[in-house]
Structure 1
Amino acid sequence: MTFHVNITPNGRLSLPAELRKRLGLANGGALLIEETDNGLILRTVAQSVAHAQALARRYTADKPETSVDAFLANRRSESGE
């Protein structure tokens, strides 16, 4: 779905009420903007977290040595703790 929004001279933009409601931003909230070669991507914070988790899973799937616990254990052994 495509929405047309205008940006004011001071940089403000308004998202349509329908979109804000669907994204859980009816009472305001934060969006993160990612600039890509193809344009801008706007995501809610929750969407950004889910996106980052999906990227992490893609690079760490089936690799137990990449877990946080494995990383911390490795750091402890390297530091002599």
Structure 2
Amino acid sequence: MTYHAKVIAGGKIVIPSELRHEFGIKDGDSLVLTRDDAGGLLVRTFDQAIRDSQRKAREMFGADYTVDQFLAENRADWGEV
């Protein structure tokens, strides 16, 4: 389904209420805006952006890769113990 949003004074975007309810967007929530590969604008909730980043990290490093492993590898590269 396609929705229409209007830009009002100060560059504010009015998101249709149906979408706000569907995605749980409330007053004061943070949204992440990104240019997509086709030159469009992608709007995601902060939680969606975090989940996307976590998925990409799992794809790059594997599901079992930990922050501790990352830090240990980088400390070794930096000459730290």
TM exceeding 0.5: yes
d(CA) in 2 for partners of 1:71 and 1:37? 29
Q: RMSD of aligned C-alpha atoms?
A: 2.2
Change (3 A) 1:28 1:22: farther
Percent of pairs identical after alignment? 33
Change (3 A) 1:27 1:9: closer
Q: Which runs of 5+ in 1 are unaligned?
A: none
Which residue of structure 1 aligns with residue 43 of structure 2?
Answer: 42
Name the one with the larger strand percent: 2
Aligned residue pairs, count: 78
d(CA) in 1 for partners of 2:66 and 2:22? 34
TM-score between both structures, scaled by the size of structure 2 = 0.77
TM-score between both structures, scaled by the size of structure 1 = 0.77
